[in-house]
Amino acid sequence: MNHRTKALSLAVCLNLVASFWAIIAFFAAQRIIAANGISGISSFYEGSLSYCTIIYIGSVIIITVFLFVKRLWSLIISGIFTILITIFCIILFSLYLSKKEEIVESYHYVFENPDYLKFGLKIQNNFSCCGWENATDVPDELSCTGNYSCKPAITKVINRVTLSLDSGLFIGFAFFVAALYFVYKVFMEVLHPISSFDELTLAPLDHRP
């Protein structure tokens, strides 16, 4: 296996591993939400998890296909997509970490909006809790006997979801950066085909007489 092929193979493998971790994180997050019986309530939050999963699956397919084309233009496209997905990782990591409270509050409406009280009742039954923040002040339709409110229970679930997401995204980010490094190496070799790669670092070597 020549050095360019080796670097290319590493770039492909690292992209696959990076996307695998990110996709697993999103699937795990959706699984946690479903297992705790709160799916179908925060449609924007849950929708973002589904869309992000699709984006990652599509990105890894695009990056891998263009890497295997082995042309300068295809490497540029792969590099651009890898950079974009790396930035996407950083943005998602920051959002899910900094917006936990807003995400938790997105479940509040089912305890106040008459059209969605059935979801509030579902949460109360699942967690044996009562009301959102005040267990003693709930609508008649949500009459319950729990001694504590539901917000802390939802907060614990969202904390688990956020931990799953951020762990997967952080690992994915590290692998995407490594993949970008090898895409760059292959790109430089295509630009300067007379150069060779160092056996250990895959860095281009100058040809001396």
Average pLDDT over residues 157-185: 85
Q: Would you call 137 exposed, middle or buried from its count of C-beta atoms within 10 A (0-12, 13-18, 19+)?
A: exposed
The whole-number pLDDT of residue 194 equals 47
Secondary structure (3-state) at 72: helix
Share of the chain above pLDDT 70, in %: 89
- Write down the pLDDT at residue 2: 60
d(CA 4, CA 17): 20
| pTM exceeds 0.85 for this model | no
Residue ranges covered by each domain of the chain = 3-107+160-202
The pLDDT-based confidence of 7 (bands split at 50, 70, 90) is confident
Q: Which tops the pLDDT comparison, 1 or 134? A: 134
| Residue among 25, 17, 32, 15 nearest 168 (CA) | 25
pLDDT at 1: 47
Given a cut of 70, is residue 204 above it in pLDDT?
A: no
